[in-house]
Structure 1
């Protein structure tokens, strides 16, 4: 992309009052952005309001500085382990086809990571308003390299330990079955999903030699920022084995309004969405709604009736989302090719055990815990143990990963997803 072309796209995205919808009308009428800004007021007035025409005829403040910053970012010698850098626009052959089928595809996407997997369809660019095609190769990639077998995973930023473990195990199973896991790099379920997908990789230090994109993180900031800060190392791992995607210009801070908006991209890049633990007001339900509006499947993992983080999933199930208990449930529902579905999930088939035998039949404390969070007083009554013995046993089980301590003095049994 030339400097003039990049400047045109940046100007179009920065023009106040001209959103994606109006910009697409302009692109369809006049071609590339440079041509748009060469039009007369009367020509632009056929598609824009007077206020939009005035804004389009004025160079946005900060454009020159942003152009230099963006060029420097593209030209910088990144750590080889972090893959490459790339910007794709609506007219680019490497633009994800699945987003073209959505109501509000972004004008530009900033990419960091395994961009070499995104091979152009042909030597000629598509029109910015071209219709998407569905052809895919044997690796589960669309014709231009974007994953055609992708599952979105979203959920609470404050999941229970079991919810986080469920996300990790589901994602690991999906990745082992050849799917790409798409999420938002947020705390909680998002981070666990990315981590689970990465953990299925044969070599955590390098990209998959087959060229498959392991996981995609869609972020709500500029791609030169990592938010939250706790996920700095996770972002590096994703860049080594997948892609980080943003529609926002470099330097964009973590503004609250951007995160619900980016959810449409998470839904758009996926063939279905799995929700793991979500409160009734969770942003994850926005992603689920957008997925449903795009005609795709929504899946939800049920939880305890006493857990507020399960109520969003239960509401989705009442509204028609598919209840799932294992990764295999999702794979079969989506009717992936038999070579993918046939791969057994270790997480789905494993039975939890401990040194004394099966947990279900041998350990009295685990039997007393059941499946819901329980307080110490209730456990004392159920087991008949004295306080020191019960606390000692709970500590042993916690160290072995069989139980987790929750806020409020509660304990929860951990099971594999």
Structure 2
């Protein structure tokens, strides 16, 4: 049994969410062993239905109802073009894997390459002011035009404005749902979801197909939004709101948090002002965001500024990063370099402004990505 099947089977058992899943992996090392050897201390805490499902699995294994559901779910995903990413997969988003107890399995519709772009989350109130919606669109358009993917929750208000701004800026945007990826919520944004997909973006969720949008799902969704991103921009939010929770999760995940100030008479500005008092970076333009992200956002790159002469080993390293962020271990495998030589090459390219560090790895800067694009054009 492969890790994906075992992970999906474990999560199908009522009462086993990401927290218990990761506790099991700490004890057993892999989901296959965890599924086969579910401890009695945990089993006794699960609902009767889950206990019955697991005992049937132990008896029947691949012929059990549990495994049959997994096979049917995977077949449904294949039929409608949904990709499944297990947390152990090489394509699993590197930043998301760094958070505490990340989603064991992600469902993805759309372009997986979009998850490899540096992401900025833009979140805010559903009942935002006209100024708030304008700010969300403008910031998203500028950041998307500079090479960031804009990540948000497809909700009404600021979320939808951020997605639309990214599309208007000719960029890529990613929607994280609190429902299954086959059930777009809210229905009002179904057309927007299709635009996101047709423009090279993605729609993702950790919930199985057919899952409805329930209140309990949204805090889980919010941790994915912040976990995928280098930083979170709060546009407007009340003091008690899901957007403020997303920002707090970002702080816990060691992400940068930005907030746009507003009028002291606007209740939707109170959440932003609270975060600023707590240490969030006050921003007035998208250029205020760049310095806080290690220079990953740069000025527009021209052929003259992008042209850098690389030797064979440096070029191999840049090529390895062309598909998205990579860890040190992945880069060592991709390039065949020893640890000392690899660190020296990484330092050289970082000094050239071609790559930047992320938690757990490296990625190309806007300038580095431009070098790759220009090199590809020169070869054609």
Alignment TM-score, normalising by the size of structure 2: 0.70
Mapping of 1:22-61 within 5 angstroms? 22-30=20-28, 32-39=30-37, 44-45=39-40, 48=42, 50-52=44-46, 55=50, 57-58=54-55
Q: 3-state DSSP class of the match of 2:116?
A: coil
1:250 aligns to what? 209
2:84 corresponds to? 87
Please, which of 64, 69, 73 is the counterpart of residue 70 of structure 1?
73
Correspondence for 2:182: 224
Q: 2:99 aligned to 97, 102, 109, which one?
A: 102
* SS class of match (2:122): strand
Residue in 1 that maps onto 2:328: none
1:336 aligns with 2:339: no
Residues 137-163 of structure 1 show CA distances to partners (whole Å, capped at 9, x for unaligned) of xxxxxxxx622x211100000111111
CA distance 1:53–1:221, change in 2 (3 Å):
closer
Alpha carbons 1:276, 1:300 under 8 Å: kept: yes
Q: 2:263 aligned to 282, 298, 304, which one?
A: 304
Paired residue for 1:268? Answer: 227
Please show how residues 12-411 of structure 1 align to structure 2 within 5 Å.
12-30=10-28, 32-39=30-37, 44-45=39-40, 48=42, 50-52=44-46, 55=50, 57-58=54-55, 63=66, 66-67=69-70, 69-76=72-79, 78=80, 84-115=81-112, 117=113, 146-147=116-117, 149-201=118-170, 214-240=172-198, 241-337=200-296, 340-343=297-300
Would you say the 8 A contact 2:155–2:186 is kept in 1?
A: yes
Note the alpha carbon deviations across 1:239-292, whole angstroms, 9 max, x for none. 222111100011110101111221111110011110001111111110111111
**Distance in 2 of aligned mates of 1:155 and 1:257:** 19
Q: Given the superposition, is the C-alpha separation of residues 90 and 308 from structure 1 closer, same or farther in structure 2, using an over 3 Å criterion?
A: same
Name whichever structure is richer in helix by fraction.
2
Q: 1:310 to 1:59 in 2, by over 3 A?
A: farther
Change (3 A) 1:232 1:28: same
* Structure-1 residue corresponding to 2:337: none
* Runs of at least 5 residues in structure 1 that lack an aligned partner in the other structure: 79-83, 119-144, 203-213, 345-417
Pairwise CA distance, 1:103: 1.1
Is the 1:11–1:59 contact (alpha carbons within 8 Å) kept by the matching residues of 2?
A: no
Q: How far 1:65 sits from its partner (Å)?
A: 7.0
Task: Tell me the matched-pair count.
Answer: 291
Hey, what's the Cα distance between the residues in 2 that align with 1:161 and 1:70?
A: 42
Structure 2, gaps ≥5 residues long: 58-63, 302-380
Structure 1 runs (4+) greater than 4 angstroms displaced: 4-7, 52-56, 59-66
CA displacement, residues 305-339 of structure 1 (integer Å, 9 cap, x when unaligned): 111111111111111111111011111332324xx
Are 2:22 and 2:101, in contact at CA under 8 Å, matched by a contact in 1? no
CA distance in 2, matches of 1:201, 1:23: 39
Q: Highest Rg: 1 or 2?
A: 1
Q: What is the RMSD computed on CA atoms of the aligned residues? A: 2.6
- Relative to structure 1, is the Cα distance of residues 63 and 237 closer, same or farther in structure 2, using a 3 angstrom cutoff? farther
Q: Match of 2:222, SS?
A: helix
Normalised to the residue count of structure 1, the TM-score between the two structures is 0.64
- Determine the C-alpha separation between the residues in 1 that align with 2:263 and 2:242: 20
Contact residue 15 and residue 47 of structure 2 kept, 8 A = no
CA contact (8 A) 1:185 1:217 kept: yes
Q: Is the 8 A contact 2:122 2:234 kept in 1?
A: yes
In structure 2, C-alpha distance between the alignment counterparts of 1:336 and 1:59, rounded to whole Å: 54
Q: Give the Cα–Cα distance (whole angstroms) in 1 for the partners of residues 295 and 91 of structure 2.
A: 24
